[in-house]
Chain A
């Protein structure tokens, strides 16, 4: 598993307009899952902005990458910070529990597809996505500062 520092520079990302759900989309796809732990067997984190880790699955390499999420200790704007980071990592798909309005604006602008309904472990959530059992999120499903409340 490759550890990538949280401060890796901003990469200019060509937005993949044609990316579609599941593995059907052509070419390489990076799928991020909000996680409480650093391994694919860890439980998901239902929060986005303040999740502990982002686990990124590479559909071409078929491997996982662990990224410590930058927003978990943020003073404010955690969702924006985490979304910005995710976009910089070249992720096209995000599997999350709750995403707030600010984060959604960033993800939308970057063309990142967001799916909600994840449960159990990170691996399990990826399987749900691959089986088309997650719901595409087009509007925020959490209020601002949701992640500051007790973990759902």
Chain B
């Protein structure tokens, strides 16, 4: 199988079972497909390694660009601080201050400095690590404590880890920048939810996000108690396909607490995951040329 398929597992809400589902999907897929890569894009709290205990083989420090002010050339005009949308600069007479942890590397200051007094410096924000679990590729990013901007690290992680075959992206919770950056390279977004008002509320946010980004998506209900009307209604109204559900199962929760993902505890669920993967392939293939137009053109 030469083609590649990238599936992001996301959910508006934390604690819905994203990681349990994404790691299960990666395990099941790796038994079936030639190359499978799991990428833990929740770089602030990566925990996929608990369920996929890969041996880490390589580690790379990731840097972002930040301004460095050449005091010989700076005339303290303050223009860079004026145009900085993130207040990362304060220019006082004799003391140009850079707050690198607020910098978003937009390049505005060093491009527009009238005195050409700003050099491009480097700041480490975290690491990308990789290894194997059997023949499955395992990738994760770990953001350094105190770093506020995770999208550049997610970017670096995906640039290194995405390849041919099946790529499973484990997204951070929520719908903010790190999630957008995680899903924007995906061919399909698998939205995990639980059949509760909280689950539905956050699913609505996540569904609005993928719709706005023009990404094909589908829903999986986790911890289903049999009565999933609250989510089924939303799927009907919004036209999101409901791919399936995983029943509430105490043993899965116990396994989770012991570091086992869902399919390790419930091997009979494997066909469900394979079935979802197959349906995702069909949906993505069905969109054909239309799919490429849907990606917002947000090339980075």
Contact = CB atoms under 8 A, between A and B. Distances in A.
B86 A12 contact: no
Nearest to A79: B87
B76 A76 contact: no
B88 interface: yes
Contact of A15 (B76, B93, B97, B148): B93
A87 B93 CA distance: 10
Interface stretch (A28-36, A58-66, A105-113): A105-113
A74 to B, nearest CB: 7
A12 B76 contact: yes
B102 interface: yes
A110 B102 contact: no
B102 to A, nearest CB: 5
Interface residues of A, number: 20
Residues of B in contact with A, size category: 10 to 19
Contact of B97 (A12, A13, A14, A105): A105
B56 interface: no
B242 interface: no
Interface string A74-115: 111110110110010000000000000010011001100000
A109 B76 CA distance: 13
A77 B92 contact: no
B87 A77 contact: yes
A94 B148 CA distance: 29
Interface of A: 10, 12-15, 74-78, 80-81, 83-84, 87, 102, 105-106, 109-110
Interface of B: 76, 78, 81-82, 85-88, 90-93, 95, 97, 99, 102, 148
Given A77-B99, A109-B90, 12 more contacts: A12-B76, A14-B93, A75-B86, A76-B87, A76-B102, A77-B102, A80-B87, A87-B92, A106-B92, A106-B97, A110-B92, A110-B95
